[in-house]
Structure 1
Amino acid sequence: MTKNNTFQQVIHEIEENSRAHLMHNYIQHGAITTYDHCFSVALLSYQLNRKFHLRSNERQLIRGAFLHDYFLYDWHHYEGNLHGFSHPETALLNAREDFMLTRKEENIIRSHMWPLTFWHYPQSREAVIVCIADKIVSTKETLFRRRKAA
């Protein structure tokens, strides 16, 4: 597998072996689906790693990034604990059902909401990259939604 195909190959493997297609049914921010959000976070994580020569494990980075919001429900109608605090654990449980995850991938998923979920903090460069990429993408999606509504 060439380096240029790494991103596409990993995403294809996830799509072929999971319930990822269900993420098209749920809105994340504004009009952005959970699938599109996770794809954007995975792509930005991959690009940041490449651009800044961060030397992270690309396969684990992409998998963890794409699965970080693999909670598979509409959070706008979520009842129970606050979604922001609880969805990383739900995403992790769902990802474990569909994949054999490494410890690093589990930490990426579990810690992506840090510092909100301060008890689960990023323990690898891959987890830090995804945490940052998620905040960048989420901010962009949220601001775009507000601008469009106005």
Structure 2
Amino acid sequence: MDVTELKKQNWQDDPEYITCVSDLLESNEIKELANYTQHHHSTRLKHCIDVSYESYKIAKKMHLDYRAAARGGLLHDLFYYDWRTTKFDVGSHAYIHPRVALRNAKKITDLTPKEEDIILKHMWGLTLARPKYMESVIVSLVDDYAAINEFMSPLETKVKKLLAKNEKGNNLKG
């Protein structure tokens, strides 16, 4: 399977991925993430699934613990507040929410030490918490990529429409 085919594959069509996370996807705690906006143009559930599935594919291709990457990726943002408006006295959202997500994840499933590290260290770069495992690095980087993509893709669509409209107008003049 080449890179293009990997990108096109839908997580719902990947039975091995589903086996890794089906118990989590069936939980009300994960389903509730659909009620929260993430990065302005996505839901937290969609974001977590995207991070989970992309991390799973990368870890699998690298012969790493893809189950931990899938599960940790799905649980990395398991919190129920709007991070744009909720503020904390003890630290920034980047510092607090991995700890909240870890506490919430422990309420719904048993976690391996690697899954705990993935959840707790996924903000590496914005925080000083260095990942202990390669799977944690993967989820952190995929999370960054997903956040940028989720924020920018609607803007990219608008720019393309404006350029197409402008080009069409120029073609009519010439």
TM-score by length of 2: 0.76
In 1: Cα distance, 2:20 partner to 2:80 partner: 20
Same amino acid, percent of matched pairs: 33
1:12 corresponds to: 22
**Which of structures 1 and 2 has the larger relative contact order (alpha carbons within 8 angstroms, sep 6+)?**
1
In 1: Cα distance, 2:124 partner to 2:20 partner: 25
**Where in structure 2 are the equivalents of 1:1-150 lying within 5 Å?**
4-50=14-60, 53-80=61-88, 81-118=91-128, 120-147=129-156
How many corresponding residue pairs? 144
Post-superposition shift, 1:35?
A: 0.3
One-letter amino acid of the counterpart of residue 100, structure 2: T
User: Do the aligned partners of residues 29 and 128 (structure 1) sit closer, same or farther apart at CA in structure 2, a change above 3 Å counting?
Assistant: same
Q: Any conservation in 2 of the 1:29–1:145 contact (CA below 8 Å)?
A: no
Q: Any conservation in 2 of the 1:6–1:59 contact (CA below 8 Å)?
A: no
TM-score by length of 1: 0.87
Provide Cα deviations, 1:97-126, integer angstroms capped at 9, x if missing partner.
1111111100000000001111x2111111
Post-superposition shift, 1:145?
A: 4.1
Post-superposition shift, 1:139?
A: 1.1
RMSD: 1.7
One-letter amino acid of the counterpart of residue 109, structure 1: I
3-state SS in 1 of match to 2:50: helix
- Rg larger in structure: 2
Provide Cα deviations, 1:78-100, integer angstroms capped at 9, x if missing partner.
12242122111111111011111
Post-superposition shift, 1:29?
A: 1.1
3-state SS in 1 of match to 2:141: helix
